[in-house]
Structure 1
Amino acid sequence: MPHHTDDHIGARIADYRKLRQLTQTGLAQRAFVARGTIAKVEAGLTPATPAIVAAVARALEVEIAVLNGQPYVSEMRQDQLDRMIAPLSDALDLYDLGPDAEIVPRPLSVITADVETLCAGACATEYKGVGARLPGLLGELTTALSLASSEQERRTATQALSWAYWVTYEFTYRLGYHQLAMIALERMGWMAEQAQDPLLLAIRLSKRSAMLLRHGNNRMASRILERGHSLIGQYDDPGSVQAVAVAGTLHLAGAIAAAQAKDKGSVAGELELAHRAADRIGRDVPRVYWASFGLTNVAHFDVATSVELGDLGMAMKAARNLRFPADHPRMRVGRYHIEMARAHSLMGKAEAAEKSLQRAREVAPQQARYHPLMRETIAVLVRRQRRASGGLASLAGWVGM
């Protein structure tokens, strides 16, 4: 079911502001955002960044998902993703019920291979394929863990189940089901502790920090990342590629947290540490703890943090030197093009913004279709033009506007 043209984040902010009997100035003062920014966002003339949405949501005492218009139920029905949510919710509740008498688990080697495939699918934003297989795999792994007859089998099962919960987090979070995503992260932490794997726990904390950043809680996100770094020191070989890659990932997360807080000094410090980690490894290692870390990812974050800081000229300069390898995770590449569309939009370059949006759709279609910033940027471009181009109108229809 198509949305009305006024159904965008800014319009929803205006609706809730009026319900709270606040003027734009009053909301700006509560959210610590410039009144002019509130006015432009409400009018749909500038994209509402995650930091702005988080600040306004706190001031209006409303869930961020409500302002973002997530989850996108009608589009999920078209893609047959909506029917996967209830079985996945049920599967998350199996964690402490012991073995299921109706399930005969396959050999652990076969199950763990399936988990690897799902991890790769999540990084490729293949939500439909991932969501269809997750509930059954969670049930099978839960039973396999309960029936494990040796310490090695138990550790293998706990690690596999931890990664299955990570995939569950990625699936539910990207589709806007944030409560389920939080539950999945809790289950992941519980399993990672049983697996006695500090790096798994650190990866889980990086995702937890991302959820906090979505709510604008930079300080708590930074504290959680500090805890993640302390866990890396507990790994058997802190100087290994695995440990260095996870540490670099935490530094990149820290750079984004600092950028949202407009702390340029901390951004530079975190990026420098991430650069050192990438140089130490000397190559991209996308499958090492599924962190997709390496020289390319650090270069991407050079661009992303500049966009977040509002230094668009620096972002464009950094982007000119960025090239993604053919095997780079589509999740990362798609996100980059969405970020560039936002930057071009803020610079008033509608044609370049549309080109980046089209590229995001080509690279990672399911990610682009459900990404709130993708939709918001399309909406801004449509409202700025007297008559939307054919390509832009097609994009708007594709995301359900």
Structure 2
Amino acid sequence: MPALDNGGVGKRIAAARKAKRQRQVDLARESFVSLAMIKAIERGARQPSDATLEAIAAALGVDPTRLLASFTGTERRVHAALPDMSASIAAYDVPGAVGRRSLDELQQAVDEAADWRLAAQYGLIAQHAPALLADTLAAFHTATDRRAAARLVVSAARSADAVAYKYGARDLSARLIDLMRWAAPHAEDPLLAASVAYVRTETFFIARAHEAGTRALEAAVDTSPAVTDQQTAAARGALHMRAAVIAGRARNVDAANEHLRLARELSERVREGTYLGTAFGPESVRVHEVSVAVSLGSDHIDRAFTVARTGAPSTDLPAERRSGFWIELARAQLWGNRFDDAFESLKVARLIAPQHTREHPWVRETSATLTRLKRSDEESLHHFAEWLGAI
């Protein structure tokens, strides 16, 4: 059973239910939980079991960690789904499977999965990814015009990759990126190719091949479409934004600054938004300025603090990106001996995107260092580290 939650899991369930304009009896019916239990949970008289919480969350269309931050059932569910995801793409280039959904149905499903990815709802993606990968591939192999189906394959694989990458399934992540690179040319869309190049950077991060990654992104910029509208500006700007981070990790200050400058210029030509699955705009570039400063190392933390002083990211940005800002800032604050601030930043990140925060390696490292130094509220920090599984 989940641990008691001082924030009130019942209150959050009630708020999520009301936001969907559901009655308690509707939630009970859709979650297959008794009405009496729903009422008791919402008023705080009962704590839901893991199974009950997952059933309620599924009925509400949210991940359980949105209702109870300390919930760890999502991690078990994700790891259980990874073999099925792997099996779904084992023979991705071999026709044979029979499609079960129309292109319109698949479009709706991949769009929903992309929304979950941006909101760091990895448990929901893992639940649906195996079937989504299989169905989009079946549609691709049976389509007379493969362009639309190829886009669906790329989107499904990108959402699945977010889970594999975040949860440490590095080989599966690499295979999913290979799948994206295989499918993208069939879409005959250079903007889609640019988005796949953006995602491919994960393989360079994993291998710590930062200089090679910088070159690959610069090549992708060179082959991306000329800037003529918001879509093309966002595609090229996102590549520069990503290149700035990986150049920072290569400790190439000049290249990182130049890519940031170009990304900033392009961001001024678009409204903050999501373009082909990637958030881009002035705020996104500002978040990446913090990331670049941290990537360049402890000698550049003042730059991170300067950017942070201009304000926290707004809710216009996806949850995953907002939590990433606080995770990066916490690392800088740790290096600057601002231990209390670092812990507060980690807590904000967890509030925004619990799954993203729990699985982020820098969160574990920062939390473990704070715990070792016995700084901040020691009891609260210990509980946080336990939640992460860092101790």
Q: Shared topology, TM-score over 0.5?
A: yes
**Counterpart contact for 2:340–2:376, Cα < 8 Å:** no
**Alignment partner of 1:186 is 2:173:** no
Q: Which amino acid aligns with 1:379?
A: A
2:33 is aligned to: none
So what's the TM-score if we normalise by structure 2? 0.77
Deviation at 1:148, TM superposition (A): 1.6
User: Helix, strand or coil: the match of 1:81?
Assistant: helix
**What RMSD over aligned residues (CA atoms) do the two structures have, in Å?**
1.9
User: Helix, strand or coil: the match of 1:80?
Assistant: helix
**Counterpart contact for 2:116–2:122, Cα < 8 Å:** yes
1:92 to 84, 89, 93: 89
1:306 to 281, 288, 293: 293
**Alignment partner of 1:373 is 2:370:** no
| Rounded Cα–Cα distance in structure 1 between residues aligned with 2:247 and 2:279 | 21
| Rounded Cα–Cα distance in structure 2 between residues aligned with 1:279 and 1:214 | 31
Cα-to-partner distance string for 1:279-319 (whole Å, 9 max, x where unaligned): 112x2022x11110000011111222122223112211111
2:197 to 185, 188, 205: 205
Within 5 Å, give how 1:203-352 maps onto structure 2. 203-233=195-225, 238-281=227-270, 283-286=271-274, 288-309=275-296, 310=298, 311-352=300-341
User: Helix, strand or coil: the match of 2:337?
Assistant: coil
2:129 is aligned to: 134
Gaps of 5+ in 2: 1-71
Cα-to-partner distance string for 1:67-121 (whole Å, 9 max, x where unaligned): xxxxxxxx678542221011001001141231324x5x22211211110110110
Distance 1:213 1:86, change over 3 A: closer
| Rounded Cα–Cα distance in structure 2 between residues aligned with 1:396 and 1:300 | 25
2:384 to 372, 395, 401: 395
Cα-to-partner distance string for 1:180-232 (whole Å, 9 max, x where unaligned): 00000010011101111222222222222232133322221111112211331
Deviation at 1:240, TM superposition (A): 2.3
User: Helix, strand or coil: the match of 1:292?
Assistant: strand
> Which of 187-196 and 302-311 deviates more?
302-311
Write out the 4+ residue segments of structure 1 that deviate beyond 6 Å after TM superposition: none
Deviation at 1:342, TM superposition (A): 0.7
Deviation at 1:387, TM superposition (A): 8.9
Gaps of 5+ in 1: 1-74
Kindly indicate whether structure 1 or structure 2 has the higher relative contact order, using CA contacts under 8 Å at least 6 residues apart.
1
1:174 is aligned to: 166
| Rounded Cα–Cα distance in structure 1 between residues aligned with 2:150 and 2:327 | 35
**Alignment partner of 1:384 is 2:384:** no
Cα-to-partner distance string for 1:231-260 (whole Å, 9 max, x where unaligned): 313xxx642211110111111111112212
Deviation at 1:166, TM superposition (A): 1.1
| Rounded Cα–Cα distance in structure 2 between residues aligned with 1:227 and 1:313 | 31
Q: Which amino acid aligns with 2:106?
A: I
Within 5 Å, give how 1:96-107 maps onto structure 2. 96-101=93-98, 103=99, 105-107=100-102
User: Helix, strand or coil: the match of 2:101?
Assistant: coil
How many residues were matched structurally?
318
Distance 1:186 1:343, change over 3 A: same
Deviation at 1:348, TM superposition (A): 1.1
**Alignment partner of 1:162 is 2:154:** yes
Q: Which amino acid aligns with 1:273?
A: L
So what's the TM-score if we normalise by structure 1? 0.75
Within 5 Å, give how 1:111-122 maps onto structure 2. 111-122=106-117
Q: Which amino acid aligns with 1:139?
A: A
Cα-to-partner distance string for 1:152-205 (whole Å, 9 max, x where unaligned): xx2111111111111121110011111100000010011101111222222222
